[in-house]
Amino acid sequence: MPYQLSSCICISSAISVPTIASHSSYKSAERAQRSVDHVTKIPRSVNMESLQSGYLFPEIFKRETEYAMRNPHTRLLRLGIGDTTEPIPNIIASAMAEQALALSTVQGYRGYGLEQGNRDLRMAIAETFYQDMQVQENEIFVSDGAQCDISRVQMLLGPSLSVAVQDPTFPAYLDSNVILGRAGKFQVETEKYKKIVYMKCGPENNFFPDLSTTPRVDVIFFCSPNNPTGSAASRQQLKQLVEFAKANGSMIIYDSAYSAYISDESPRSIYEIPGAREVAIEISSFSKFAGFTGVRLGWTVVPEELRYANGYSVLKDYDRIVCTSFNGASNIVQAGGLACLSPEGFKALKSTINHYMENAKILVDTFESLGLKVYGGRNAPYIWVHFPGLSSWDVFNEFLERAAIVIIPGTGFGPGGKEYVRVSAFGHRECMLEASRRIRKLL
Amino acid sequence: MPYQLSSCICISSAISVPTIASHSSYKSAERAQRSVDHVTKIPRSVNMESLQSGYLFPEIFKRETEYAMRNPHTRLLRLGIGDTTEPIPNIIASAMAEQALALSTVQGYRGYGLEQGNRDLRMAIAETFYQDMQVQENEIFVSDGAQCDISRVQMLLGPSLSVAVQDPTFPAYLDSNVILGRAGKFQVETEKYKKIVYMKCGPENNFFPDLSTTPRVDVIFFCSPNNPTGSAASRQQLKQLVEFAKANGSMIIYDSAYSAYISDESPRSIYEIPGAREVAIEISSFSKFAGFTGVRLGWTVVPEELRYANGYSVLKDYDRIVCTSFNGASNIVQAGGLACLSPEGFKALKSTINHYMENAKILVDTFESLGLKVYGGRNAPYIWVHFPGLSSWDVFNEFLERAAIVIIPGTGFGPGGKEYVRVSAFGHRECMLEASRRIRKLL
């Protein structure tokens, strides 16, 4: 990720562009081809071999970096990787600064925290996000972010389960299943992994899978508001999902990382749906809610009623995973999380979220005014734009080469992303307006 | 972990003791027995079922918490969990505070960083710890700590490999193998998992396994300076280990988290040994080096020369794991890490390490003066004390109930820990002296 540069700022020749050499995987890939004197006898994990390419977002980063190197005087506008750009409110940053300084005092020094997270933060999460949903603080596990929690939940569940993902889907859901050995072979003709059920989500079905034709699986991965389509599932849809899971004895892994962007009555948590506590784990994050993409904080809820077939508590096992594979989120960062959930912090964050949603509106209007079908952008900071008949990577290349705008090709999210691109609304307002001008010119 | 309390501070009745209720796994275990209306059809992972008990350190925490509740007026001395107690030097804390505050400014705001870690930090790690060992910054992956890296390395390698651990061993090495499905059945008679090779390390073999009788395995987990025995492997021993790995086409996962505590010429990194780059991954941490137990920062080195049997680069796959299962260590924390490696920061940390090692000497002297055989305490902040003929949990109970001192029973680290206890030298000086008095009285 380009940490020196915000998602949508101007790169002029005066600012050093991260060289390809600084992109570890690219450089190491080149070096990896050098012959060596010794190899181990360790077989490469067949699961790693099954991965079709690099993880999507570093691949995008590689291409935008290459472009920037070739065009050092061009102002590149990043509407690709969903990286937040607006400063963290001072009350939150100050809380973290204070906690850092406290660590240099005898009275304020803290070593290990509870692996599950500081109790006050867990309580604040329960109160802020799960009012009236009976989520207890002991069901909440604070983490260093949803990306990490996804893999911990995967480790918890083991390799032998059947899974379904939305199509298109946030890539970590697919890739983590591959790494755990659940995916089977990749089939080039369908661009799908053989053992994974892909639940197509598109305008034809209101971005909600047709569950009547969806086979039973053990675990259903569901993200709402959705990355990449920006669609927020309705209460009715989520009721169906919970009933489907319940009838099938399935588990839902529900990602609510973008719930703060919901502007209508769509549910913000799966636990708003009766019965969800018996079927769903919810993963969420401070990244997009609080601009903590680089600060790193998230949480996972595992309700006590969630049980394996033998009645054993999933919460108990997840706690064991957390205690073994993790050692808690940073105490400094957790102090920031608590400040995010204070009335003043929360209010300030709302203001930033509104900024991004106003960006989204600019993008929606821009694309719509050009006669394109646009989805998302109303309950999420992502716009999902349809380019009928075009390859999404071709559209990506056009935008990059001819307008110096980075977007994400839809097929990066699965075959369901064909003919679509994802455009991110994270950025400074001025860049968003410049992007709008260039898009109008391009199309 | 008792984040409100340092490892070795006085608990008087004026300080609130964490209640059992705040220990999530304990509370949820109780609730988990309640019957529920609905269970899923998802089988509990057989790997999770194979785990014999809770992770060691939360179990110790549970017992010390119970004791504290029963004895609210007793001053409990914590020489158990290896939790650092001394404040972080101001130069380091200030660097983190500054980074936190910078995030509240337009110019200073940063979103996602490189998943592999900030380049300046990786370079500083290479220069500080791997001078003349040809470790490049692109071979270094900054993380939120060794505990997390262990599991990421495990995910990388997949479930089908044969492994060896030292005996006794840091529990995460054993447990992560169980969770990944490599361990086979637990055999009650031997207290060992069937498919894991246990390399006994004790005074009889200078705490280094007899490799001539060690079967070949794919992956060897080796920690030096050792947790729990405190023994640092010699250059000669590590040469043997590297040769053994090379001859067998094995990989070493080398944990150097305590290398800063070495006081003699023992190697501080496996890469001091010729040939190690072709066989070893090294995992290390700022936790014990810099008091970052709650701040969370570590790193893993994967050399480019390390290859699977088919020649594929392990580094490349690890990069893929890091990009998929992780999103980088906190930018605030990484700023602290960089300050740790500045001349002033490094010097200040040395002073803290010396404090802990002086504590260790007090403990060594105390136990030795009582006629006990004591190991460790010279190259690591752990003392490994032999109580011939006694059960280590009985010794644990005696220390707790009769002297209000928490230690760790040796069998918590595997059957090789029988008759031993681990005593941690982390703590304020005053508590260490009080502990010494009580130990003399007890024994």
Instruction: Decide if A40 and B315 are in contact by the 8 Å CB cutoff.
Output: no
User: Per-residue confidence at B369, pLDDT binned at 50, 70, 90?
Assistant: very high
B420: closest CA of chain A, how far (Å): 23
pTM of the model: 0.92
Instruction: Decide if B41 and A161 are in contact by the 8 Å CB cutoff.
Output: no
Is A389's Cβ below 8 Å from some Cβ in B? no
- Does the structure show a pLDDT above 50 at B20? no
Is B57's Cβ below 8 Å from some Cβ in A? yes
Of A54, A87, A251, the CB nearest to B103: A87
User: Per-residue confidence at B54, pLDDT binned at 50, 70, 90?
Assistant: confident
Identify the H or E element spanning A274.
none
Instruction: Decide if B88 and A103 are in contact by the 8 Å CB cutoff.
Output: yes
What pLDDT was estimated at residue A34?
58
From CA A418, how far away is CA A390, in angstroms rounded? 8
Mean pLDDT of B52-78: 93
Judging contacts by C-beta atoms under 8 Å, the chain B residues touching residue A332 are: 96, 100, 295, 330, 332-333
The answer to whether the Cα torsion of B363, B364, B369, B372 is positive or negative is positive
- Does the structure show a pLDDT above 80 at B389? yes
Q: Report the residue of B24, B308, B326 to disrupt the A interface, i.e. the one with the largest count of A CBs within 10 Å.
A: B24
Is A352's Cβ below 8 Å from some Cβ in B? no
What pLDDT was estimated at residue B3?
35
What dihedral angle (degrees, nearest 10) is formed by the CA atoms of A66, A69, A74, A80? 30
Instruction: Decide if A311 and B94 are in contact by the 8 Å CB cutoff.
Output: no
From CA B120, how far away is CA B341, in angstroms rounded? 11
The CA-based angle A93-B287-A144, given to 5 degrees, is 45
Please list, in sequence order, all residues whose beta carbon lies within 8 angstroms of the beta carbon of residue A230, skipping any fewer than 6 positions away.
Answer: A375, A376, A377, A378, A379, A380, A381, A382, A383, A384
Mean pLDDT of B329-337: 98
What are the DSSP calls for B150-184, one per residue?
A: HHHHHHHH-TT--EEEEES--HHHHHHHHHTT-S-
> pLDDT of B74-97, one tens digit each?
999 999 999 999 999 999 999 999
Instruction: Decide if B296 and A119 are in contact by the 8 Å CB cutoff.
Output: no
CB-CB contact of B285 with B298 (8 Å): yes
Strand partners, A253: A221, A281
Supply φ then ψ for residue B421, to 5 degrees. -130, 150
Helix (H, G, I), strand (E, B) or coil at B298: strand
Judging contacts by C-beta atoms under 8 Å, the chain A residues touching residue B310 are: 39, 43-44
Instruction: Decide if B151 and A325 are in contact by the 8 Å CB cutoff.
Output: yes
What pLDDT was estimated at residue B34?
59
Q: How much is the mean pLDDT over chain B? A: 92
- Which chain B residues in 70-89 lie under 8 Å from chain A, judged by CB atoms? 81, 83-89
For chain A, which residues score pLDDT lower than 70?
A: 1-35
The CA-based angle B132-B133-B136, given to 5 degrees, is 105
**Based on the number of CB atoms within 10 Å of its own CB, is A372 exposed (0-12), middle (13-18) or buried (19 or more)?**
middle
From CA A242, how far away is CA A244, in angstroms rounded? 5
- Does the structure show a pLDDT above 60 at B22? no
- The CB density around residue B33, as the number of other CB atoms within 10 Å, is 8
Is A406's Cβ below 8 Å from some Cβ in B? no
From CA A281, how far away is CA A218, in angstroms rounded? 13
From CA B226, how far away is CA A186, in angstroms rounded? 43
Residue where the block lists tokens 């699961």: A47
- Which chain A residues in 408-437 lie under 8 Å from chain B, judged by CB atoms? 426
Nearest residue to B84 via CA among B368, B296, B362: B296
From CA B286, how far away is CA B292, in angstroms rounded? 6
What pLDDT was estimated at residue A374?
98
- Does the structure show a pLDDT above 50 at B4? no
What pLDDT was estimated at residue B28?
47
- On the question of a cis peptide bond just before residue A228, with omega within 30 degrees of 0, the verdict is yes
User: Which tokens in the block code for residue A66?
Assistant: 């290459």
Nearest residue to A398 via CA among A73, A72, A63: A63
From CA A190, how far away is CA A206, in angstroms rounded? 23
Nearest residue to B22 via CA among B38, B47, B3: B3
From CA A138, how far away is CA A313, in angstroms rounded? 13
Judging contacts by C-beta atoms under 8 Å, the chain A residues touching residue B307 are: 36, 38-40
- The CB density around residue A59, as the number of other CB atoms within 10 Å, is 18
Kindly tell me the number of DSSP H helices and DSSP E strands found in chain B: 14, 15
What pLDDT was estimated at residue A38?
96
From CA A262, how far away is CA A304, in angstroms rounded? 27
User: Which tokens in the block code for residue A134?
Assistant: 């009976």
- Does the structure show a pLDDT above 60 at B8? no
From CA B363, how far away is CA B30, in angstroms rounded? 38
